[in-house]
Structure 1
Amino acid sequence: MHTRSKAIVAATVAVVVVALVAVLVVRGVIWPNRLLAAQYEVRGVDVSSYQGVVDWPVLAGQDVDFAYVKATEGSGFVDDRFAENLQGARDAGLLVGAYHFFSFESPGRSQAEQVIATVPADEGLLPVAVDVEHYGTFFRDPPDPDKVRAELEVLVATLREHYGVEPVIYATQAAYSRYIVGGFPDSPLWIRAVYLPPRVSDGRDWAFWQYSHRDRLDGYDGEEPFIDVNVFRGDLADLRELRSDG
């Protein structure tokens, strides 16, 4: 076979392999971070109504130790599966917490009131997590960092006072660099980094790492076929120490 023909065949094979890998990644069959995340022994999921009805015993039986369930968003939205997910995950024996999706469009105080009205201050729950990420038009036109930080500080301080524990802060790496860096030193950090290990701009250690947003597990049936999967840096005893005393 001529050298040129061999090169064409090799290039064709390479293209086919890359395309096959891309398809498997898109379908969640393989994921870049799984091997890296496997070194951490405590694994968890985060869910919302998009996962539909969750069979928590089935989900918990797949090497899942903890769950964060969506509770609220902004100042006026409550996830319609929150109460069922919270109770179901607890009944399945998981360590459980609620998360709030932070809105750039409403005051921190009213967002805190929405969380407090929805999430019980029960003994044994993991700290409320505040999800800070860009959305909608804010990807192209991010809001002013100082204004966001001021509202976020009010939200975090109010939740800390009410629940008696430091809220967790979840952030994409872009949102961390814009709104979190240098602040909230006592809040456990939850970083979304789905292609490579988390690297935040100030070198701060993370407590939780969302390493995949396209996993498939048994036990849920909603419009979203994928589920977010996370690890915790520490063992189960360390995770339990984060819980509220009620």
Structure 2
Amino acid sequence: MLTAVVLSTAFFIPANRAQATTYRGIDIYSGNDISDYSTIKSQGIDIVVAKATQGIDYTDSSFNYRCNHVRDAGLKFGAYHFAGGLYGHTPEAEAQHFLDTIKGQTFDICLWLDLEDYSLKTWGKQEAIDFANRFISYVQTRGYKIGIYCCQSFYYENLAGNILNVPVWLANYSKQPTQFSNIVSWQYSETGRLNSASGNLDMDYFNDSVFTGQAPQQVNNNTSNAVTQSSTDASISTLQSELNRQGFGNLKVDNIPGKRTLAACPTLHYGSQGNITKWVQQQLGINADGTFGKQTRQAIFNFQRSHGLYADGIVGHNTWKALLGL
């Protein structure tokens, strides 16, 4: 659902993810041309989530077509609403537009509210909290199960611990959310490719919470989202060791990206060189030559936009925070 360039294109299940049942999925809108959903299913896809509406007056032109074909192919089906929040739109008005559009359709997984910053809208924290809770409550009182989708940094900076207990689906294109797959579902790429689908696709892993009537445990905003990181992924330890070596901190090398690690991370910008730059490049999935050149700056721009951050191409505090998954 986000608009940044993502650097991963193939299906993968990371070796260090939590052991829980996951379901492969894609989320789509009118810009995704899919000619054969049976072929999509044959490539290991379990779930399709289709955009239905945006704001109070936009309906995705492909939604009705998806309704008539996705489930016929044996795929599980869901729908999402992209929050507009413009021109005084109330969450109740947007929710009603969404419900009017999906009325009469059958869904196998919960509905979704897509809440994110974009070119015409930047959410204030309390505004985002109020919108999410009112939208969710309105849909729930009409008998539907609903979850929330947003990028990981937006969720932890604004919503975690402040909204109703619903399924959570996070986008992070550089790193697996630690709470996946027991707590949250994960959108890991928007550059996936499948036969019978033209162009790039958003690629996802969903957990069981999207099917059942019970939402997963609410993530506590005061708890580090990296405390359970598996020791099989030592990337944070590598960074901590390098920060110590260069004199930026005296950190415990514990592979946990907490506040002390974040505070020790230096600002990186065009022209920076060395192993810390190389570490960032590795997280972004680009050529890790240790030199902060044009490609790295563009990758940082893309990363910042995909995480709802101010896109200046500089790796400062908030960008480090997102890279570390905090």
TM-score under structure 2 normalisation? 0.56
Within-5 A mapping of 1:62-101? 62-101=43-82
Deviations 1:142-165 (A, max 9, x none): 332112322222111111111x24
**Contact 1:190/1:206 (<8 A) preserved:** no
Aligned equivalent of 2:255: none
Match of 2:114 among 131, 153, 161: 131
Asked if 1:102 corresponds to 2:74, the answer is no
Supply the distance in 2 between the matched residues of 1:214 and 1:204 (Cα, whole angstroms): 21
Give the direction of change, closer, same or farther, for the CA distance of 1:34–1:215 in structure 2 (3 Å limit).
farther
Q: Which has the higher helix share?
A: 1
5+ residue gaps, structure 2, are 1-5, 215-326
**Contact 2:132/2:163 (<8 A) preserved:** no
Deviation at 1:204, TM superposition (A): 11
TM-score under structure 1 normalisation? 0.73
**Contact 2:170/2:185 (<8 A) preserved:** yes
Asked if 1:154 corresponds to 2:134, the answer is yes
Give the direction of change, closer, same or farther, for the CA distance of 1:53–1:66 in structure 2 (3 Å limit).
closer
Within-5 A mapping of 1:89-238? 89-105=70-86, 106-120=89-103, 122-138=105-121, 142-162=122-142, 164-199=143-178, 206-221=183-198, 225-234=199-208
Root mean square deviation of aligned Cα: 2.8
Aligned equivalent of 2:270: none
Deviation at 1:54, TM superposition (A): 3.6
**Contact 2:110/2:210 (<8 A) preserved:** no
Deviation at 1:239, TM superposition (A): 4.9
Moved more, 42-51 or 149-158: 149-158
Q: Which runs of 4+ in 1 moved over 3 A?
A: 28-31, 33-41, 121-125, 203-207
Deviation at 1:60, TM superposition (A): 1.2
**Contact 1:214/1:228 (<8 A) preserved:** yes
Deviations 1:46-84 (A, max 9, x none): 111111244211111110111100100111110000011
Greater RCO structure (CA 8 Å; 6+ sep):
1
